[in-house]
Amino acid sequence: MNGPQGPAGIITERDYVNLVADCTDPASVSVGQRMTTDLVTVTSNADVTDAAQIMAVRHIRHLPVVDAGKLVGVISIRDPVARHPALHKYEEERRRSLQAQIADRITNFAGSMPFVYVHAVWFTLWIVLAVEPFPFGLLTMIVSLEAIFLSTFVMISQNRADEKRRVLADHQWELVQHEEKQNEELLQLSENILNLTSEVHQLTVATDNKKLSVH
């Protein structure tokens, strides 16, 4: 809902369900009375992943898009997102760590074809130029040390993958807890609606019986 200074609030299907569950006639209540006024908004230039992160943190399903105080659209939690918000936050934290950046770059290079080409050229020149006599003790020692360091970086990469899985698992657990709470609320609302329907039915039957007795 737009106001003089921009969006004044938002109302969703859940608000309507709550209204009916409270045994209130929707026709007797205005939108302004039921809408959420404490809005969280984004601009149309915002990243979709950032928007998804906001909805995940705030536990909301709809996010108004506002430009210059004017509502231009609404993004929903059901809209596709390029990257999981929990992973996006994890990657942002890693970018702030210099050690993590160095480890990631070394691991990425060690697992690429340029790494293979560099070593092929290095070993060929070492042997052709006769840098040292056979059986190349120095070269063997250097390669052995390099293998040790590369194994360490591989382990770091595996730990990073495990950390990603843990972040996703923790976030999924939070979502499960939130969804469970919502399901409990929906069950309660359904029970209230069922009770309301039964009361309306009983009232209708009683009214009909009263009319019949009068006639």
Which pLDDT tens digit goes with each residue over 19-53?
Answer: 766 667 667 777 777 777 777 888 888 777 777 77
Paired sense of beta strands 70-76 and 62-67, if any: antiparallel
Tell which residue, 80, 104, 75, has the closest CA to residue 164: 104
Could you read off the pLDDT of 63-93 as tens digits, one per residue? 888 888 788 888 776 665 545 566 666 667 6
Q: Where in the chain are the domains?
A: 1-82, 84-215
Strand intervals (E) in 57-160: 62-67, 70-76
Is the pTM of the predicted complex or chain greater than 0.75? no
Q: Which two tokens stand for residue 213?
A: 């007795």
Alpha carbon distance 104, 115 (integer Å)? 15
- Please give the class, per CATH, of domain 1-82: alpha beta
Residue 121, pLDDT > 90, answer yes
Q: Is the pLDDT of residue 135 over 80?
A: yes
- CB burial of 113-147 (b: ≥16 within 10 Å; e: otherwise) equals eeeeeeeeeeeeeeeeeeeeeeebeeeeeeeeeee
In one-letter notation, the amino acid at residue 189 is L
Asked whether the beta carbons of 85 and 52 are under 8 A apart, the reply is yes
| pLDDT level of residue 186 (50, 70, 90 thresholds) | confident
- In this structure, are strands 70-76 and 6-7 parallel, antiparallel, or unpaired? unpaired
